[in-house]
């Protein structure tokens, strides 16, 4: 049974008001607010507003991915897959820029070395939390890239050969994007963690 569609007002970390369309989108919005504000500190109001935009774009990305999978919107009306795919690609690019601008994957806490047992245990907790944050970031990146891959494949399926050449959505174009953009972007999360977090663990042992 399809989920009821209705306008639901949600509030972001900076107090901004946004409208979502289903209870599931509302739950996702609230979960993302909790995740980002728990694991990061945003002091500047401009960063908080950028965070709101990030969260809303992630909700929209999931919405349009769901629509593309059925080629209908929540009400059952047919959508234009090419238009929705283009919008998703735009969202993906904006998301990457916004996350970079607010430093959402940068270290958020300073650690002090200590030889006491209690501090050692606390350091283990911090490291476990940092590792968990890295895994969540990987999942977020993976979801974003997956949505973009769905958009590209859907665009390819709905184009004739001339349109595929113009839109650069032939199979070889998609494989090139995977190798040159998607895979490196996903690997960058782990690389950043090793270079900016894990290496300090080794130095303190």
| Least confident residue range of 9-13, 117-121, 176-180 | 117-121
pLDDT band at 202 (very low <50, low <70, confident <90, very high): very low
b (16+ CB within 10 A) / e for 110-140: ebeeeeeeeeeeebeeebeebeebbeebeeb
pLDDT digits (tens, 9 = 90+) for 106-160: 443 344 344 456 666 666 777 777 777 777 788 788 888 889 899 889 989 998 9
Position 3 confidence tier, pLDDT thresholds 50, 70, 90: low
pLDDT at 139: 77
Work out the mean pLDDT of the chain and round it to a whole number.
81
Of residues 72 and 195, more confidence is placed in 72
- Predicted TM-score (pTM) of the model is 0.51
> What is the rounded radius of gyration, in angstroms, for the C-alpha atoms of the chain?
20
Of the pLDDT bands very low, low, confident and very high (cuts 50, 70, 90), residue 59 is very high
**pLDDT for res 116:** 56
At 109 the pLDDT is 36
Whole-angstrom CA distances from 182 to 105, 149, 170 are: 17, 9, 16
Q: Is the pLDDT of residue 10 over 90?
A: yes
Question: Region 174-179: what's the mean pLDDT?
Answer: 90
């Amino acid at each position: 049974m399809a989920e009821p569609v209705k306008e639901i007002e949600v509030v972001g970390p900076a107090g901004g008001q946004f409208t979502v369309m289903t209870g599931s989108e509302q739950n996702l919005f609230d979960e993302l607010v909790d995740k980002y504000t728990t694991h990061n500190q945003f002091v500047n109001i401009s960063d908080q507003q950028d965070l709101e935009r990030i969260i809303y774009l992630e909700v929209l990305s999931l919405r349009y991915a769901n629509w593309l999978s059925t080629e209908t919107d929540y009400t059952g009306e047919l959508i234009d897959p090419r238009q929705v795919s283009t919008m998703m690609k735009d969202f993906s690019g904006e998301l990457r820029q916004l996350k970079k601008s607010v430093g959402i994957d940068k270290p958020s806490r300073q650690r002090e070395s200590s030889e006491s047992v209690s501090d050692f245990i606390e350091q283990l907790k911090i490291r476990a939390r940092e590792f968990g944050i890295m895994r969540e970031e990987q999942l977020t990146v993976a979801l974003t890239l997956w949505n973009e891959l769905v958009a590209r494949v859907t665009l390819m399926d709905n184009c004739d050969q001339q349109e595929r050449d113009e839109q650069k959505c032939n199979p070889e174009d998609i494989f090139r994007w995977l190798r040159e953009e998607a895979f490196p972007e996903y690997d960058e999360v782990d690389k950043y963690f090793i270079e900016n977090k894990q290496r300090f663990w080794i130095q303190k042992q």
